[in-house]
Structure 1
Amino acid sequence: MPDPSPSVMLWAMYALTTGTLSVGLDSAGYEVLSGIILVLACAGWLGAVAQALLLPPRPVPVSASAPAPASAPASVSAWRRETAAALAWVAATALVGTGFSAAGLQRPAAALLALATPLWAVLLVAAGRERRGTVFLRCVATQGLAVLGATLAAAESAAWLAHAALTLFWLGLVLYCLALFRFQPRQVAEGAGDHWLPGGALAVSALAGARLLSADSDRLYLWNDDDHAVLGRVTVTLLVLTAVACVALFTAELFWPRRRYDVRRWATVFSAVGTAAAALAVAAALDAPWLDALGEALLWITVAGWLGCTAWTITSARAGGRTGRVRSGARRFRSRARR
């Protein structure tokens, strides 16, 4: 049976990117369009679940030191891909839940948080030696939960949830640093799209920081002046680093262009969409109108990128289907010739 994990990653990254786009559109005030995009994100989320149910069980070692069968390299490689897809799905669940919360649907948002958190805890300690961009998905998933937790805390006036989200925020930054040491710099030249995830992880971290700042109110009084100042400085620093990373990665694309379609291209679009959403959220949290205008301009650029990647995915899927039918016909022709 062919390994369907690329399809799981495709749907999960599509749901993550589209859910983040919905959050950004809502922040910019386009509530109706945000709702339409959120429906598409839900479709992608369900697609990832449906594809995951098709995955066959794989006997893989639970740790790097455990004994492995002769087929271990292929099995472990497949297991790592599935772990990355599961982390992307957790992050997608969090961002889709954030979209629900922004739309006033707090119970579905809370249900998605309760669904994603146990799986995140399991995946956080899963063994892995990934050195591509997907190594940053642990940070992305963690910060995604922080975004959802902070958004729900503001909507439900739940101080404990805001403090839990703050813990996830700092943990996500630690995970980012650990991933940065494992990331292979040559992926910037060789990666197929997931090499943008270092920037995407910074973007969702800045988004989480901004949502935590916005969750504070006279009713909750989450942070004192010193805490607010530290959180604000860290959030702004993360946004600046996000911009620097995206400019550097875009420049690398000019030197080492990748013209072939790959599922991991959705990680590139996610990073761009996340940057726009983070800029809008930081602008709202710190009352910076100039940043709001810049974020909205970037948001529409990323909408074009999202549409382009969607069309590219559909075109590649159709081309793959036609190729499959041609190959099947050729096999039948050779079979008849041998008879």
Structure 2
Amino acid sequence: MAYRWWQELPPAAGSFVMATGIVSVGLHLTGFEAVSWIFLALAAVIWVLLAVDFGSRLLWNRDRWSAEADTPPALTAVAATTVLGTRLALLGLNELGVALLVLATAVWPILLSAVMRHWQRGMPGAAFLVCVSTQGLAVLAATLALEDGRRWLMSAALICFCLGLLLYVAAFSHFDLPQIWTGSGDQWVATGALAISALAGSKLTMAQQWTGLPHNVIQVTTLIVLGLNMIGYGVLLLAEAIRPRPHYDIRRWATVFPLGMTAVATYSTGSAIHVDALRTVGTILLAVAVGGWLLTFVALLTDRTTFHPQHAH
């Protein structure tokens, strides 16, 4: 039987949609609309393939679905859906955004509980996807609230934001710190989770229903999280420079996602609190993310095992 690579994608493939989708968001925010559409189209196509594969395994290969649902990469299904929904909402396609929010919200508790039941000490960076998926719901809900005035969604976003921060602490307590030096790409999710938390916080800061102390607490929390994100970004970048890992691994898309998310979070926070310097830094970081995406995509296309697994060692 002919090998169909699109039917054998592992759960970690969702990080490709996350990385491509957030780069599309960043390009949209910085005015590169035509290029942003290309990234959006690519993310949407792969999301559809993954969604069909997810559904077919659930219906006809339940054993494999259950085995994969217990692993942290399964939560990329939620995160990828929220990133795609956020980009569509920014286009004004709010109905599609709402549909994806409903879908992600329905799947999130099932996968989250399955993953956390199987947590253990010494987890890889993918453990932080419990935070990323939850904050993805916050970002999409807040974006829809800002786009079409559904105020109750902003309250839901605040709940997810707070829960996501708690889940970050829980994930950090299970994270294997040496992964910073030895990980194959997903160690970057440790800072990507902070980045998407900061993005959610920036959206909440833009809301109109909170003033005074609540607004100040959200804003200060967002700036603290963004600062921690920048520190983590720098540490991981230094680790990559000291111990380069140039070979292609599908987990490298979990590196590109934090690069793009840090750029978007920085830019969005600058817009929320009216600090042009942060917007400038965000634009520079977006150029880094685009470069990282292109390098990883070329590595994907030139890797012999991508479409011909019989060449794998």
Common topology (TM > 0.5): yes
For the Cα contact (< 8 Å) 1:207–1:282, is it kept in 2? yes
* Residue 205 of structure 2 is aligned to residue 213 of structure 1: yes
> Which residue of the partner structure matches residue 91 of structure 1?
79
Question: Please, which runs of 5 or more residues in structure 1 have no aligned partner?
Answer: 61-74, 328-339
Letter in 2 for 1:142: T
Work out which of the residue numbers 181, 189, 194 in structure 2 matches 1:197: 189
- 2:249 aligned with 1:293: no
- The separation in 2 between residues aligned to 1:179 and 1:303, in whole angstroms, is 28
Within 1, Cα distance between the matches of 2:190 and 2:301? 26
**Could you tell me which residue of structure 1 aligns to residue 310 of structure 2?**
324
TM value normalised by structure 2: 0.90
Distance 1:247-1:114 versus aligned 2 partners, 3 A rule: same
Query: How far apart are the structure 1 equivalents of 2:64 and 2:75?
Result: 20
**Residue in 1 aligned with 2:62?**
57
Report the secondary structure of 1:150's partner residue. helix
Q: Equivalents in 2 of 1:204, 1:304: separation in Å? A: 20
Cα distance in 1 for partners of 2:11, 2:198 equals 24
Q: In the alignment, what sits opposite 1:65?
A: none
Select between 4-13 and 119-128 the one with higher mean Cα deviation.
4-13
Residue in structure 1 matching 2:118, options 113, 119, 128: 128
CA contact (8 A) 1:196 1:271 kept: yes
DSSP 3-state at the match of 1:125: helix
Is the CA contact 2:12–2:76 (under 8 Å) kept in the aligned structure 1? no
Q: 2:250 aligns with which of 246, 251, 263?
A: 263
> Cα 1:304–1:133, aligned 2, differ >3 Å: closer, same or farther?
same
Contact 1:35 1:103 in 2 (8 A): no
* 1:69 corresponding residue in structure 2: none
Match of 1:147 in 2: 139
- 1:6 Cα deviation after fit: 7.3
C-alpha displacement of 1:35: 2.3
Residue type at the aligned position of 1:20: I
**Superposition deviation, residue 11 in structure 1:** 3.1
Q: Which residue of 1 aligns with 2:22?
A: 20
* Alignment partner, residue 64 of structure 1: none
Flag the 1:49–1:237 CA change in 2: closer, same or farther, 3 A.
same
**1:52: Cα distance to partner?**
2.7
Distance 1:7 1:292, change over 3 A: same
Aligned ranges for residues 1-339 of structure 1 at < 5 Å? 7-53=9-55, 55=57, 56-58=61-63, 78-81=68-71, 84-126=72-114, 127-129=117-119, 131-214=123-206, 216=207, 221-316=208-303, 318=304, 321=307, 324=310
Whether the 8 Å CA contact 2:6–2:49 is kept in 1: the answer is no
Aligned-pair CA distance for 1:143: 0.3
Matched letter for residue 119 of structure 2: R
Over alpha carbons, which structure has the higher Rg? 1
Contact 1:8 1:52 (C-alpha < 8 Å) held by counterparts: no
Structure 2 unaligned residues grouped into runs of 5+? none
Identity over the aligned pairs, expressed in percent?
A: 38
Q: Distance in 1 between matches of 2:312 and 2:100?
A: 42
Judging changes above 3 Å, is the alpha-carbon distance between structure 1 residues 321 and 99 closer, same or farther for their aligned structure 2 residues? closer
Q: What TM-score do you get using the length of structure 1 for normalisation?
A: 0.83
- Note if contact 1:172-1:205 (Cα within 8 Å) is conserved in structure 2: yes
**Corresponding letter in the other structure for 1:324:** Q
Distance in 2 (CA, whole Å) between partners of 1:320 and 1:148 is 31
Aligned residues: 304
Structure 1 stretch displaced more, 250-259 or 95-104:
250-259
Q: Which residue of 2 aligns with 1:334?
A: none
